[in-house]
Amino acid sequence: MEYKEAKEIVGKFKEAITKLEWDASSYYSTKERCQKLEEKNKELKTELDEAKRFKRYFNLLASASKCEICPQCDGAGGFTWDMGEQGGGGEECRNCEGAGIVDKVVS
């Protein structure tokens, strides 16, 4: 085997090792990212379960209540707007008179 041929084989071997190192590094960073995403997913599922529980409580209270959230202002009691450099303003909701709730209409 000549020196030139041996040098070429060693060069290809180095390239292969470098590629394996890059692949391994990529694998570990991807694995870490996946683990973080799985943890975040578990946290979000827990938050979603809590939100569903509170929504159920809200619906139970809303069905027993004699009032409901104002459909015009969505319970905010009024409206605000931004006009850029000229400032902004606000207005009280006429439907609920700023309370955010109205008497429930029974059909």
Q: What pLDDT, in 10s, does the model give residues 78-103?
A: 888 777 777 778 889 999 888 888 88
H runs (alpha helix) in the chain: 3-64
Q: What is the pTM of this model?
A: 0.44
Q: What is the DSSP letter of 44?
A: H
Computed over every residue of the chain, the mean pLDDT equals 87
Is residue 81 within 8 Å of residue 88, measured between CB atoms?
yes
Predicted pLDDT at 15:
92
